[in-house]
């Protein structure tokens, strides 16, 4: 029985991490878990529509569990929701959760503490696999095809939205931006992958910008004081 669930963002790192796991152990992943805005029904921080997330799960042939986050939810409220969601997965036989994190030690420690509280193990298949310049090239060469759907206004202008994650994109990155966007500089949507049974046909919609503020109760959180607050989003729509 498959006992691992992938914490799936819909982006390139998740897709590459999932491929690594399935390459080593075919059939070992039971399903996907994704955090979404309850208000907008879009993937958190990626801004991707729910129907596109559903299309990814369908192309992968995996069930999808959605964690719906209320507007302005605090980190404490998010943690409580995660506990409930993971308890439900344990009832389905889950033992391990898979993450696509690359090198952020504090984030990895947070995941491990969070999952330990949920009585689940963690797996990080691309953690410090190589430097991120090489990892970015490996992702591209693996056949993962992704569109840039969110960029931080701290580093980018809107012209970077909608671009393919490819060598040209890497060569155009502003100074100080990680090639994999591991610090949250940009996010992507995977529209094709060797794991999909067929590509997802998409078209570009409107570009928007959004500023974020800490949730209620998080105002004094050190990490919330330093995060980027302005982001630009490229809406993608499913071609039916």
User: What is the pLDDT, as a whole number, of residue 126?
Assistant: 98
Q: Is 23 helix (H, G, I), strand (E, B) or coil?
A: helix
Antiparallel, parallel or unpaired: β 202-211 and 186-192: unpaired
Give Dmax (Cα) for the chain: 46
Query: Do 14 and 144 contact (CB within 8 A), yes or no?
Result: no
Residue with structure tokens 């955090």?
35
Query: Over its length of 240 residues, how does the chain's per-residue pLDDT go in tens digits?
Result: 689 999 999 999 999 999 999 999 999 999 999 999 888 999 988 999 999 999 999 999 999 999 988 888 888 888 888 888 888 889 888 999 999 999 999 999 999 999 998 899 999 999 999 999 999 999 999 999 999 999 999 999 999 999 999 999 999 999 999 999 999 999 999 999 999 999 999 999 999 998 865 555 544 555 444 456 799 999 999 998
User: What is the pLDDT, as a whole number, of residue 92?
Assistant: 85
Query: Do 115 and 97 contact (CB within 8 A), yes or no?
Result: yes
User: What is the pLDDT, as a whole number, of residue 81?
Assistant: 84
Architecture of the domain spanning 4-238 = 3-Layer(aba) Sandwich (3.40)
Assigned token pair, 114: 């969070």
pTM for the whole structure:
0.91
């Amino acid at each position: 029985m498959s006992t691992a669930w992938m914490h799936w963002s819909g982006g390139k790192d998740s897709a590459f991490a999932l491929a690594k796991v399935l390459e080593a152990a075919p059939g070992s992943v039971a399903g996907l878990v994704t955090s979404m805005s309850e208000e907008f029904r879009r993937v958190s921080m990626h801004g991707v529509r729910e129907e596109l997330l559903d299309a990814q799960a369908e192309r992968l042939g995996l069930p999808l569990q959605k964690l719906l986050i209320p507007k302005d939810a605090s980190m404490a409220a998010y943690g409580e929701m995660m506990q409930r969601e993971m308890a439900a997965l344990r009832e389905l036989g889950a033992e391990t959760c898979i993450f696509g994190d690359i090198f952020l030690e504090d984030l990895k420690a947070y995941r491990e503490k969070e999952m330990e509280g949920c009585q689940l193990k963690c797996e990080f298949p691309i953690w410090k696999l190589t430097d991120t310049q090489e990892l970015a090239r490996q992702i591209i060469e693996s056949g993962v095809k992704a569109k840039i759907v969110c960029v931080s206004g701290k580093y980018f202008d809107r012209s970077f939205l909608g671009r393919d994650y490819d060598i040209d994109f890497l060569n155009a990155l502003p100074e100080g931006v990680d090639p994999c966007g591991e610090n949250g500089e940009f996010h992507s949507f995977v529209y094709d992958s060797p794991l999909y049974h067929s590509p997802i046909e998409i078209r570009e919609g409107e570009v928007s910008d959004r500023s974020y503020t800490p949730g209620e109760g998080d105002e004094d959180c050190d990490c919330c004081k330093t995060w980027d607050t302005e982001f630009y989003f490229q809406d993608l729509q499913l071609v039916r």
